[in-house]
Structure 1
Amino acid sequence: MIVGIGVDVVDLARFTRAVARTARLVDRLFTGAERDLPVHSLAARFAAKEALMKALGDTEGVRWHDMEIISDVEGNPGFALTGVAADIARRRGIASLHLSMTHDAGVAIAFVVAEGGA
């Protein structure tokens, strides 16, 4: 059963300018494992984190580092949740999260489906 969905779009040029102008932005938004990626990949991950917050439905107290975008053994993207984000997912009965990300034509887009247990 679908518990929540979320989608987000990030303008790549605007995100690139924000990263260039705000020295600690990348450190604030991304975990150590995410930080060294190209800016278009960071933009897609930012969109994924925003989409996840929409899918969770309750984000009070969630920190950016509570949501890390990881890849499974086949290279498919997913989330590793910790802290408040993990607590909210547990409380809402979310058993799995499905993530799709892309970047093209000047935008990065992410879509998240939060699925509950049977």
Structure 2
Amino acid sequence: MIVGVGVDVVDVPRFRAQLERAPALRERLFTVDERDLPLRSLAARFAAKEAIAKAMGAPPGMMWHHCWIPRPEHGDGRPEVRLTGTVEAQARALGITHWHLSLSHDGDVAAAYVVAERRAEEDTP
């Protein structure tokens, strides 16, 4: 069962300007593993974090770095959603058991689309 859907688009030059104006923003938004990624990858991950929050109804109190999208190390290369702390607690409260995430960046635009799903145990592959 789909619990929520979220989508977000980031203007990469505007995002760069925000990071340059407020260098502490990078630490507030991203985990240590994400911070050194190229700008377009950071923008796509920020879009993913926004889309994930939207899929959960954008509840207050969630911390940005409690959600991250690690670099694919193996498998089929699909991006994975990792949660901890405040974001994990919200997902658990909503019964979310699976995330489907698509990231894209081209030129000056980065985008993310996410589907939050609750699966019954017999539906889990």
TM-score for both structures, normalised by structure 2 = 0.89
Displaced runs of 4 or more, over 6 A: none
Q: Which amino acid aligns with 1:112?
A: V
Shift of 1:58: 4.4
Alignment of 1:86-97 (within 5 A): 86-97=88-99
Unaligned runs of 5+ in 1: none
* Equivalences for residues 55-74 of structure 1 within 5 A: 55-70=55-70, 71=72, 73-74=74-75
Query: 1:91 Cα shift?
Result: 1.1
Question: CA–CA distance in 2 between the matches of 1:72 and 1:78?
Answer: 10
CA distance in 2, matches of 1:73, 1:4: 27
Aligned ranges 1:1-118 → 2 under 5 Å: 1-70=1-70, 71=72, 73-74=74-75, 75-118=77-120
How much does 1:21 deviate? 1.4
Q: CA deviation at 1:59?
A: 2.2
Q: Distance in 2 between matches of 1:85 and 1:96?
A: 14
User: What amino acid does structure 2 have at the position aligned with 1:21?
Assistant: R
Aligned residues: 118
Structure 1 window deviating more from structure 2 (66-75 vs 20-29): it is 66-75
Decide whether the 8 Å contact of 1:59 with 1:85 is kept in 2.
Answer: no
* Percent of matched pairs sharing the same residue: 53
State the Cα deviation string for residues 47-74 of structure 1 (Å, max 9, x = none).
0000000011142210011101123622
RMSD: 1.2
Structure having the higher strand fraction is 1
Distance 1:109 1:7 in 2: 7
SS class of match (1:98): strand
